[in-house]
Structures are given as C-alpha cells and as structure tokens.
C-alpha cells in the first residue's frame, strides 16, 4: 500500500515535470482579419496519446531552410525610396526585422534589368541604336547601384542573414532575334556574351557589398509577354548558357535552373540531362502560376541532391486567389512548397502602391507584401500575413522534420535553437480542434474556420 502511494506520487511528479518542461505558444490569423497573429492558448497534454491528428518524427530530417521573402522590383524600390525617411525606415523594419512585429524576411529576389514592374523598359547594356555590343562596352550598373543597392544594404543591416537572388527578364535587345527586349529568343552567337553579362552583374553585386546567393538565367523562359521584357529560351539554349556561365561565376553563387511554373517539370529535367550544364546547376526555381506543387518532388526524386525554391508567386485580385484567402494562400504557397522540398519561398513585389503599380505592361491587379499609400503610410496585405506565419518564426538554417496527418495542412521544422515550429492552415469553413504528438510531447489547440496557425514549442529537458 505504501509502495503504491510512493509510485503514484512519483508518476504524478514526473507527469507534472513533463508538462512544465514543454513550453508551447500559438498564434492565429483568420481570413476575415478578426484575428491577426493573435496569441491563443495551447493545451499541453500528458502524453503520448493514442491517435493524435498529427504525429511528428523529429528524427527524420529533410531540407534546411534558407528563408522567406519577396522581390525588390523597380516598383518596390521606387516606392520605398520615395517614402519620407521615417516611414521608409518603418517599412524596411517591418519587412526585414523580426523585432517589434517585423516579418523578418531572410530571402529576396531582384530583376536584372526591367520587369513588368518597372517604369521603363531597359537592360544593363543598351547601346545607341541597339547596335551589337559583344564586349559589353555599354554595360551600366548605375541604376542598380543608385536604387536597389542602398535598400539591400539597409535590409542586410536589419537582417545580416538576408540572401539575395537575381533573375533577368530579357537579355539586351541586341542579343535577341527580335532585336528588342519584347519577345524573341537569344541568338546563338551571343550565348557567351549573355553569360558574360550575367557574370558581370554578379561581380558588380559582390563589389557593391551585396553578394548574390543564387542566379537564374531567365525568368519564365517558356513565355514571351507581349508588353514587357521577356525571352523564350528552350532547354537546349538554357543548357548552353549555363555551361558558358558556370566557369565565370564565383563558387559562392548558385545557378538555379528553370524559374518557371510547376506545369513543365520535363523542362528542368531536360537541362539536367546535359552533363555540361548539369555540373553547374545547384537547384530548381519554381513559379506557381501553372501546374501543381508536387512537380517539385518529381524533380527532387530524380535529383535528390538538388535544392528547390519557390521563387515567384503573386497575390492579387483574381480567382482563385481572391476567394482562397490567407489560409488558402498559406496552404498552397508556404506549406505545400516546403512539404515538396523547397528551401525558400519568395512572393512577388515587396511593395506596390494602391493602384497595383507602378508597372509598365504585365500585371495590373497584382499586390505587394505592403501597399504604400500617397501619404507615405503603408499597410500589410494578405500576402504579408500568409508569409508572417513562417518568416517570423522559422529561422534560417531550420530543418524540416517529418510529420503526417490530414486534419489540417501543415509543415513542421526544427529551428537551430532546438525549438519546433508548425505552420498549419485550416482551409475549411468549420473550426477544428487539432492535436499533435512529438514523441512524448502532445499539444492540442483550436483553429477557427479559414485560419492559419503557427505553433512553437520546445522541450527544455533537451
């Protein structure tokens, strides 16, 4: 009898210490904005429980995480530079710092030359009369140095871990068979000149104190837009450019292939079948505008040593983006890519004005991470809330860990400090009570209909 009392006390004390040792927090955002990263309670269960909704296997580890963010386009840089100094400082803090509610972006993308979100169409080598300039005598870095570089330096001061990638929307017009930045393809005789052009840009970025982490050779190479810079490049052409570019780049700059939609996984596979190009490819860049996210896994299964990134997807005023809301956006553009091997997620413009610009051609109803208003104020969009549930909590160097369960869409990572982070999306119109078990640690929390949750927990015994 006495032994039983002692055993019961021991078990009680053990369970109490287990309960106290696991620190768990949660934050919720709803599609209707009634909750915006609002802290909510998490019930810590004395586990394990028999049938949790989500079971985590911390021993099974997958890709490491580079980060989350969006693109510093000409539109974004012009709006940010045009803000009064204090408002600009606040906007940059919100985008790149994790202090005081900042998004903490670790990853950004810049165009090489103009995109549709520019107020002029230009490349970095536009000689008079579009005369051929294979020796790049008319190459100019001035615009980048005067606009993008100061903002990237400010961003890196706020977040020294910021990684920068770059993509051209077109080669200079004189390199193309259209003799224009609009439409056309690269002429075979200018493969080396285009490779030299990209390598020079990478060198200039490093000299300016903002070295590139990664580079793609063409944005959306299977699309020729009719009213803004673009260039069609076949897999054979891309392989030739990559083979010429690889030896010219510093080993610290990764070449990412494709930089286009999920609907054509055979395109990057074709480049990877070329040994001269494949030796320089370090990963595949994907966009969300066609196909399904499992394309990332299809290529990863063939080439498991290559990385994957979602490098562009824009929110905006169209279906299904309009009706999917924050929960749908988080499920399809944050959780889905990470569960299919993405090391990073980039949305499109960091900042746009309240007329979805400035832009010259292209998308007239896209939105940025923030909207900059004429009076200098800025407001976050749904894109900001969707990314915030990952970017504020998942640190660079985190590792995705295995999890299964279909109660809600979810992904789980292990941060460098040992904390676990789950991003979960309830895209249904019904509230859910969700349970998870991570070994002996079991948690339960409530998710409203059409909501996103971030959970963070750490077992202090380890």
Q: How far apart are CA 195 and CA 334, in angstroms?
A: 32
From 393, 410, 431, the end of a domain falls on 393
From 393, 424, 439, the end of a domain falls on 393
| CATH assignment at residue 111 | 3.20.20.80
What pLDDT sits at residue 6?
37
Q: What amino acid positions are annotated as catalytic residues?
A: 220, 312
Is there a single domain that holds both residue 291 and residue 338? yes
pLDDT tens-digit readout, 130-142 = 899 999 999 999 9
pLDDT tens-digit readout, 269-311 = 999 999 999 999 999 999 999 999 999 999 999 999 999 999 9
Both tokens assigned to 83: 């803000």
Q: Sort residue 332 into left (φ over 0), alpha (ψ -120 to 50) or beta.
A: alpha
pLDDT at 15 over 60: no
pLDDT tens-digit readout, 362-374 = 999 999 999 999 9
Is there a single domain that holds both residue 156 and residue 265? yes
Is there a single domain that holds both residue 186 and residue 260? yes
pLDDT at 168 over 70: yes
Is there a single domain that holds both residue 108 and residue 154? yes
pLDDT at 5 over 70: no
What is the rounded average pLDDT of the residues 208-232?
98
Is there a single domain that holds both residue 29 and residue 142? no
What pLDDT sits at residue 332?
97
Is there a single domain that holds both residue 293 and residue 182? yes
Is there a single domain that holds both residue 406 and residue 374? no
| CATH assignment at residue 429 | 2.60.40.1180
Is there a single domain that holds both residue 58 and residue 109? no
Is there a single domain that holds both residue 204 and residue 126? yes
Is there a single domain that holds both residue 344 and residue 430? no
Q: How far apart are CA 354 and CA 373, in angstroms?
A: 6
pLDDT tens-digit readout, 77-119 = 999 999 999 999 999 999 999 999 999 999 999 999 999 999 9
What is the rounded average pLDDT of the residues 175-199?
98
Into how many domains does the chain fold?
A: 2
Candidate from 21-25, 225-229, 336-340, 442-446 with smallest mean pLDDT: 21-25
DSSP-derived pairing of the beta strands 54-64 and 432-438? parallel
Q: Which domain holds residue 124?
A: 66-393
Label residue 460 by pLDDT band (50, 70, 90): very low
Is there a single domain that holds both residue 164 and residue 130? yes
From 375, 393, 411, the end of a domain falls on 393
Both tokens assigned to 81: 């530079």
Question: What residue has token string 């109803």?
Answer: 365
pLDDT above 70 as % of the chain: 94
Is there a single domain that holds both residue 380 and residue 319? yes
pLDDT at 22 over 70: no
């Amino acid at each position: 009898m006495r032994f039983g009392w002692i055993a019961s006390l021991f078990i009680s004390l053990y369970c109490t210490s287990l309960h106290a040792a696991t620190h768990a927090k949660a934050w919720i955002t709803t599609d209707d904005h009634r909750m915006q990263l609002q802290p909510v309670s998490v019930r810590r269960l004395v586990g394990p429980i028999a049938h949790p909704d989500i079971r985590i296997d911390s021993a099974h580890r997958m890709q490491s995480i580079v980060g989350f963010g969006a693109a510093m386009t000409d539109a974004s840089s012009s709006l940010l530079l045009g803000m009064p100094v204090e408002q600009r400082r606040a906007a940059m803090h919100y985008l790149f710092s994790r202090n005081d509610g900042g998004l903490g972006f670790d990853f950004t993308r810049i165009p090489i030359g103009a995109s549709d979100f520019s107020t002029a169409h230009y490349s970095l080598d536009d000689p008079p009369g579009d005369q051929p300039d294979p020796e790049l005598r008319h190459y100019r870095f001035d615009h980048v140095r005067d606009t993008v570089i100061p903002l990237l330096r400010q961003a890196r001061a706020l977040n020294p871990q910021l990684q920068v990638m770059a993509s051209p929307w077109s080669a200079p017009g004189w390199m193309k068979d259209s003799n224009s930045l609009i439409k056309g393809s690269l002429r075979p005789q200018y493969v080396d000149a285009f490779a030299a052009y990209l390598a020079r840009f990478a060198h200039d970025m490093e000299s300016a104190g903002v070295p590139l982490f990664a580079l793609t050779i063409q944005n959306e190479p299977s699309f020729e837009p009719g009213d803004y810079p673009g260039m069609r490049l076949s897999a054979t052409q891309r392989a030739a450019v990559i083979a010429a570019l690889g030896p010219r780049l510093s080993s610290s700059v990764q070449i990412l292939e494709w930089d286009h939609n999920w609907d054509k996984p055979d395109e990057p596979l074709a480049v990877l079948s070329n040994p001269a190009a494949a030796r320089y490819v370090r990963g595949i860049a994907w966009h969300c505008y066609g196909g399904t996210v499992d394309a990332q896994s299809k290529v990863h299964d063939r080439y498991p040593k290559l990385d994957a990134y979602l490098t562009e997807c824009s929110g905006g005023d169209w279906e299904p983006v309009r009706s999917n809301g924050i929960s749908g956006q988080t499920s399809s553009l944050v959780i889905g890519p990470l569960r299919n091997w993405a090391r990073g997620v980039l949305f499109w413009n960091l900042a746009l004005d309240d007329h979805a610009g400035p832009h010259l051609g292209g998308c007239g109803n896209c939105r940025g991470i923030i909207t900059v208003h004429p009076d200098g104020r800025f407001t976050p969009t749904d894109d900001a809330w969707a990314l915030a549930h990952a970017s504020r909590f998942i640190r660079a160097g985190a590792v995705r860990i295995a999890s299964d369960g279909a109660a809600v869409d979810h992904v789980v990572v292990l941060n460098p400090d040992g904390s676990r982070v789950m991003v979960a999306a309830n895209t249904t119109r019904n509230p859910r009570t969700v349970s998870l078990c991570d070994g002996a640690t079991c948690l339960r929390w409530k998710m409203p209909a059409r909501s996103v949750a971030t959970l963070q927990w750490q077992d202090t015994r380890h």
